[in-house]
């Protein structure tokens, strides 16, 4: 076999393999590129999941079940199904967040500082739900280094907010180098004080795409508490009636 | 959650209610049966479902389903079609003769939910009050259906028109409950029998029309049919007694705008209202309404009233500190204080909060400071009548140490002279309560 033949075979082999190669290997690891892939990895045309939120503090653990439905980068509807919070809903779109309390049949629009309130007594605030899939629009990324964290090789991005309309002026995000899913997120106040830490684990496949099946959240302003989200059932790219992201459905 | 105890008991309908509920609950459980093959953690029997089946989901597009590792050692609290919420109170309060009196009693709410499909749902909520006897009432009993993009609601339910926690001049349909309790988590939650048509006008706008027929006098009817001596004759209401109202709700430029009108044929009045809510440094809201008699369609404006409020909260420690101030003004109302005659009938039940007379004056104010964290809720609330310079102040704390279990304590007192809205010397002029609440 001559050199030309060997070259042809190698090129053909590369061409055949290339579609299966991870996109990560094909792109230069720029900070902006990684951030774009992070947003994309967490955005689905539609997503429906059933999950349990476990809130642990010094008194023990409380569990709350909910159903999460999402569309694109902005729209999310959460409906609690456990007895104590049954029927309560949270609707979020790109601009606003609404709560629905079925007992009073009352819709409440959360704005401003009220978004910092804890969601169902957890370590998660309502504003933590906003902007997690649109970081590229709101933050300027800086690539720090590549390191292994929780057994996963990850890029560390430091994000500085472009606008004041975000929950945290600074974030550190460890992005899985293979899946571009978040591995860990640390959110800071303007003073540099660490406010919140999120760890992501239990990667599984949903609709052919990797998905973090477990998220552990710690509010660093509280002592001895943590909130764990366990996604029991995930469906992606399933038909979801667009009307569920409306005020009518929220108050249904 | 702490709720107001019932003041109106309908003991005579208890048997009928339970018969109806038994049938309702049986149907609800049957409809909510778990589908075969549903994914369950080992050893856990799930007795209800949380969502309606996705009727529109096409069968030919089965998405990948991820069933994550289950925490099989933990008990999952799936929603059941029946939810029970029970409060137990121990109360010490000022009695009619000025001495301290004590009482203990409980209240409960049994909520029976039924959701046959994603476009039909029903709920019956029975309220019970129990001491050395029990009485029952219906807080909610309704069915909702979505047909051709329009939502129909029939039955007894609650809702909010206008804006305002305590003072809401825009709530022309439900109004402010006469038995509002400053120590309760929900200060006022009146409900009404109605038929409603709700038409969405885009994702965050809608129009709604409601018809409010008088409540059927069931207890009087039953008493009459049973031959109870001196039973009152059930009052028959004509079509002219059906009140109706309509409103439009929208959100232009991020500001919630609502406007509507109530027609009361019995009173021969129209009551238009408008309400706005938005944010400028803090949450702001304003509502206004006026009652226009048929014989004075332009109105003298003497019944005009306006309420407004401001709310702001900040992170404080491990929780959130919130501050709310509301006020209501009736410019053509009574600005001169005069003694308010006491109601001849004392409250039938001791309530956790202090009692007051109906406020007849032109100006009223409400203030609230709260701090809440994951497990704690502390509040200080006050109602103030600037015309007679009397006030009611309530403070309390709620602690939620376990899921579905809450303990609470509150004190409430009036500060006012004889004949004032918040008269110190009236029955229930001060009150202290401790209690607990379970939800399961």
Query: What are the tens digits of pLDDT across the range B373-394?
Result: 878 999 999 999 999 999 999 9
* Cβ proximity of A38 and A228 under 8 Å: no
pLDDT at A199: 96
Chain A touched by B439 (CB under 8 Å)? yes
3-state secondary structure of B198: strand
- Which residue on chain B is closest to A96 by alpha carbon? B254
For the stretch B67-116, pLDDT in tens is: 333 333 333 334 457 889 999 999 999 988 889 999 999 999 999 988 77
Chain A touched by B255 (CB under 8 Å)? no
Domain segments of chain B as ranges: 11-34+79-439
pLDDT at B9: 39
**What distance in Å separates residue A135's CA from the closest CA in chain B?**
23
If we measure between CA atoms, which residue out of B66, B397, B108 comes closest to residue A50?
B66
Instruction: Give the pair of three-digit tokens for residue B285.
Output: 């809201």
> Can you tell me the distance from the alpha carbon of B155 to that of B208, in angstroms, rounded to the nearest whole number?
16
3-state secondary structure of B182: coil
Total domains in chain A come to 1
Interface of B with A in 112-131 (CB under 8 A): 113, 121
- Contacts for A156-161 with beta carbons within 8 Å, 24 or more apart? A157/A31, A157/A34, A157/A35, A157/A38, A159/A35, A159/A135
Burial class (CB in 10 A: 0-12, 13-18, 19+), B73: exposed
pLDDT at B409: 97
Please give the residue range of the domain that contains residue A146.
28-250
- Which residue on chain A is closest to B202 by alpha carbon? A246
* Cβ proximity of A33 and A27 under 8 Å: yes
> Can you tell me the distance from the alpha carbon of B136 to that of B5, in angstroms, rounded to the nearest whole number?
11
3-state secondary structure of B177: coil
Interface of B with A in 4-23 (CB under 8 A): none
Q: A4 in a domain, yes or no? A: no
Q: Do A232 and B39 lie within an 8 Å CB cutoff?
A: yes
Interface of B with A in 326-345 (CB under 8 A): none
Q: A15 in a domain, yes or no? A: no
Name the strand (E) or helix (H) holding B25.
helix B14-31
Q: A16 in a domain, yes or no? A: no
pLDDT at B368: 96
pLDDT at B70: 31
* Cβ proximity of B83 and A102 under 8 Å: no
> Can you tell me the distance from the alpha carbon of B277 to that of A199, in angstroms, rounded to the nearest whole number?
38
What residues in A contact B205, CB-CB < 8 Å? 247
What residues in B contact A116, CB-CB < 8 Å? 313, 315, 320
Q: Do A248 and B198 lie within an 8 Å CB cutoff?
A: yes
Which distant-in-sequence residues (6+ apart) come within 8 Å of B142 by Cβ?
B122, B123, B153, B154, B155, B156, B157
Q: Do A62 and B402 lie within an 8 Å CB cutoff?
A: yes
Q: Say which CATH number the domain at A138 has.
A: 2.50.20.10
Chain A touched by B147 (CB under 8 Å)? no
Name the strand (E) or helix (H) holding B120.
strand B120-130
Instruction: Give the pair of three-digit tokens for residue B404.
Output: 């579905």
Q: A19 in a domain, yes or no? A: no
Count of CB pairs separated by less than 8 Å, A with B: 175
Q: A135 in a domain, yes or no? A: yes
pLDDT at B209: 97
Chain A touched by B370 (CB under 8 Å)? no
List the beta strands (DSSP E) in B131-242: 134-147, 150-158, 191-200, 206-212
Low-confidence ranges of chain B (pLDDT < 50): 1-79
Write the ipTM.
Answer: 0.76
Tens-binned pLDDT, residue by residue, of chain A (252 aa): 444 454 444 444 433 333 334 444 445 589 999 999 999 998 889 999 999 999 998 888 889 999 999 998 889 999 999 888 888 999 988 778 999 998 888 898 887 777 888 888 889 988 887 766 778 888 999 999 999 998 999 999 999 999 887 889 999 999 999 999 999 999 999 999 999 999 999 999 888 889 899 999 999 988 889 999 999 899 988 899 888 999 999 998
Interface-testing mutation among B1, B28, B35, B66, with chain A (most A C-beta atoms within 10 A): B66
> Can you tell me the distance from the alpha carbon of B170 to that of B56, in angstroms, rounded to the nearest whole number?
38
What residues in A contact B402, CB-CB < 8 Å? 59-60, 62
* Cβ proximity of B395 and B380 under 8 Å: yes
How many Cα atoms within 13 Å fall on the side-chain side of residue B432? 4
Which distant-in-sequence residues (6+ apart) come within 8 Å of A43 by Cβ?
A72, A73, A133
If we measure between CA atoms, which residue out of B367, B163, B374, B159 comes closest to residue B283?
B163
Q: A12 in a domain, yes or no? A: no
Of A55, A112, A246, the CB nearest to B204: A246
If we measure between CA atoms, which residue out of B234, B203, B216, B230 comes closest to residue B155?
B216
Q: A17 in a domain, yes or no? A: no
> Can you tell me the distance from the alpha carbon of B440 to that of B436, in angstroms, rounded to the nearest whole number?
13
What residues in A contact B315, CB-CB < 8 Å? 113, 116, 221
**What distance in Å separates residue B358's CA from the closest CA in chain A?**
23
3-state secondary structure of B373: coil
User: Is the CATH code 2.60.40 the one for domain B11-34+79-439?
Assistant: no
pLDDT at B210: 97
């Amino acid at each position: 076999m001559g050199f030309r033949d060997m070259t042809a075979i190698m090129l053909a082999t590369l061409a055949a393999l290339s579609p299966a190669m991870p996109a990560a290997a094909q792109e230069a690891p720029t900070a902006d590129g990684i951030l774009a892939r992070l947003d994309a990895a967490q955005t689905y045309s539609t997503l429906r999941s059933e999950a349990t939120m476990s809130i642990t503090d010094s008194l023990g653990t409380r569990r709350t079940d909910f159903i999460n439905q999402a569309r694109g980068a902005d729209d999310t509807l959460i409906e609690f199904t456990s007895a104590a919070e049954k029927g309560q809903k949270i609707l979020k779109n790109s601009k606003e967040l609404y709560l629905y309390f079925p007992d009073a049949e009352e819709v409440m629009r959360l704005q401003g500082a009220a978004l910092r309130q804890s969601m169902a007594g957890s370590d998660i605030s309502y504003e933590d739900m906003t902007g997690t899939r649109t970081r590229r629009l709101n933050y300027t990324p800086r690539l720090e280094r590549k390191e292994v964290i929780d057994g996963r090789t990850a890029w560390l991005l430091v994000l500085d907010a472009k606008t004041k309309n975000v929950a945290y002026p600074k974030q550190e995000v460890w992005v899985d180098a293979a899946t571009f899913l978040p591995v860990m997120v640390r959110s800071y106040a303007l003073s540099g004080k660490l406010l919140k830490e999120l760890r992501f684990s239990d990667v599984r496949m949903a609709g052919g795409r990797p998905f973090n099946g477990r998220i552990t959240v710690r509010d660093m302003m509280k002592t001895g508490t943590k909130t764990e989200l366990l996604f029991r059932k995930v469906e992606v790219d399933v038909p979801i009636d667009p009307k569920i992201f409306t005020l009518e459905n929220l108050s249904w | 959650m702490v709720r107001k105890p019932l003041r109106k008991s309908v003991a005579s309908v208890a048997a009928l209610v339970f018969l109806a509920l038994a049938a309702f609950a049986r149907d609800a459980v049957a409809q909510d049966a778990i589908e075969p093959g549903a994914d369950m953690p080992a050893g856990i029997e799930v007795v209800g479902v949380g969502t309606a089946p996705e009727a529109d989901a096409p069968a030919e597009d089965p998405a990948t389903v991820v069933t994550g590792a289950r925490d099989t050692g933990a008990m999952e609290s799936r929603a059941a079609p029946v939810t029970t919420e029970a409060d137990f109170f121990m109360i010490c309060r000022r009695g009619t003769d000025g001495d301290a009196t004590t009482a203990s009693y409980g209240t409960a709410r049994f909520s029976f939910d039924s959701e046959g499909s994603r476009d039909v749902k029903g709920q019956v909520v029975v309220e019970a009050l129990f001491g050395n006897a029990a009485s029952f009432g219906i807080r909610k009993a309704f069915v909702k259906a979505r047909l051709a993009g329009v939502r129909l609601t029939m039955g007894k339910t609650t809702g909010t028109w206008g804006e305002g926690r305590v003072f809401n001049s825009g709530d022309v349909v439900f109004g402010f409950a006469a038995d509002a309790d400053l120590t309760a988590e929900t200060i006022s939650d009146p409900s009404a029998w109605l038929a409603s048509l709700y038409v969405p006008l885009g994702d965050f706008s809608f129009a709604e029309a409601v018809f409010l027929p008088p409540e059927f006098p069931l207890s009087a009817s039953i008493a009459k049919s049973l031959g109870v001596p001196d039973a009152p004759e059930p009052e028959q209401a004509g079509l002219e007694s059906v009140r109706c109202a309509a409103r439009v709700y929208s959100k232009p430029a991020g500001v919630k705008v609502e406007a509507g009108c109530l027609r009361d044929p019995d009173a021969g009045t129209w009551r238009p209202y408008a309400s706005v809510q938005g944010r400028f440094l803090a949450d702001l809201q304003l509502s206004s309404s006026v009652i226009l008699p048929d014989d004075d369609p332009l109105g003298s404006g003497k019944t005009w009233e306006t309420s407004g409020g401001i709310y702001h909260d900040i992170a404080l420690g491990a929780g959130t500190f919130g501050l709310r101030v509301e006020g209501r003004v009736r410019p053509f109302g009574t600005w001169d204080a005069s003694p308010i005659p006491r109601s001849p009938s004392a409250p039938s039940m001791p309530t956790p909060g202090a009692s007051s007379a109906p406020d007849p004056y032109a100006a009223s104010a409400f203030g609230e400071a709260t701090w809440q964290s994951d497990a704690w809720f502390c509040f200080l609330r006050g109602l103030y009548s600037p015309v007679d310079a009397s006030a009611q102040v309530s403070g309390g704390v709620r602690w939620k140490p376990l899921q579905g279990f809450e303990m609470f304590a509150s004190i409430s007192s009036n500060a006012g002279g004889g004949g004032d809205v918040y008269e110190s010397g009236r029955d229930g002029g001060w009150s202290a309560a401790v209690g607990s609440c379970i939800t399961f």
